[in-house]
Structure 1
């Protein structure tokens, strides 16, 4: 006598009518790490490349050492833009007064000073177009998009133009990034390497 296999249980949650809300990210069980909410839809990220990981590490540590005391620098942490959008920048600079404690899972967008996205092969359109517009709409003053150009980091830096509410480019940086906003920074981008130099 053969036994028919049981239908496999659905592995992914069924979205509610109207899409998920920002609060759902804290309630849904077993979501993969770094799940984002974009336009009411869950976005899962692919495994990170070494370039992506080392670039996040670089900006996280460099900006922590440079940021004035009224700011906090945090990696891979979601921000509330509106009910249907809770993206997770790779690095975010926020006002220190919104950092509450170890159980906190998100920051309000109005407290974000700088959002940094490191572009991955699966996030090109999200980082260049979708998030660019959403961060501007949320009036985040500064947005940096970091791209891999043959293994070297290239930073596209944008600042919010207050009259139009749109981002304007303040520079494309290779090898060295020197800016005075949102605070003074002089960064050696050549330090971002997918492989560590080994000496004999």
Structure 2
């Protein structure tokens, strides 16, 4: 099934396969676009050599699941071609989801379970709290194979894993907010 996703004609871009069902992309809010761009840029500029940061890129978990996180950090050697359309989940170190009303249950419940089962070491969920970003950061607990919270960050996010980053979360704003 997952292998067939690239061959189904006329699918909208960014269609995902979750539990053997096609999940079509939902409308994007300004917050979603800004947060995704912010995390993509910031992680890319902070990532050490040998890691790649990709936005809205598909990963293979199994034959029934090909989700597309908003941002991923992956091992560089997993990228073998500019024509490549997906990565194995085993090469992903961090999956980031920006929650939208239409994707809330998938981003809060379904996807974290699938990411943990695929042994993705880190998961960040970005929530819109009245126009401000709140980052819920999780790390895979090796004994249980489930995610455990390592913090909720609202104005500043400073972490050492999967690599050191220090993010000013107040920078996620609209142009009008920037001008004020």
Same fold (TM over 0.5): yes
How many Å apart are 1:147 and its aligned residue? Answer: 0.4
The partner residue of 1:180 within 160, 172, 176 is 160
Could you tell me which of 41, 61, 85 is aligned with 2:21?
Answer: 41
Task: Give the number of aligned pairs.
Answer: 179
Q: Deviations over 1:12-67 (max 9, x none)?
A: xxxxxxxxx11121000111111000000000121201110010000000001100
TM-score (norm 1): 0.88
Alpha-carbon offset, residue 95 of structure 1: 0.1
Structure-2 residue corresponding to 1:58? 38
Give the aligned partner of residue 153 of structure 1: 133
TM-score by length of 2: 0.97
CA distance in 2, matches of 1:46, 1:167: 26
Residue of structure 2 in register with 1:92 after alignment: 72
Query: Counting helix residues as a fraction of each chain, which structure ranks higher?
Result: 2
Which residue number in structure 2 is paired with residue 6 of structure 1? none
TM-superposed deviation, 1:194 = 3.1
| Cα deviation digits, residues 72-117 of structure 1 (max 9, x gap) | 0000000000000000000000000011122100000000000000
> What residue is the counterpart of 1:144 in the other structure?
124
Of 79, 92, 95, the match for 1:112: 92
Of the structure 1 ranges 101-110 and 187-196, higher mean CA displacement relative to structure 2 is found in 187-196
Q: CA deviation at 1:195?
A: 3.4
What CA distance in whole angstroms lies between the structure 1 residues aligned with 2:146 and 2:174? 33
Query: If you compute each CA radius of gyration, which structure gives the higher value, 1 or 2?
Result: 1
- Provide the C-alpha distance between the structure 2 equivalents of 1:23 and 1:64, rounded to a whole number of angstroms: 28
List structure 1 segments (4+ residues) > 4 angstroms apart after TM superposition.
none
State the Cα RMSD in Å: 0.9
Partner of 1:198: 179
CA distance in structure 1 between the aligned counterparts of 2:116 and 2:175, rounded to whole angstroms? 34
Instruction: Summarize the alignment of residues 70-81 of structure 1 with structure 2, pairs less than 5 Å apart.
Output: 70-81=50-61
The residue number in structure 1 matching 2:151 is 171
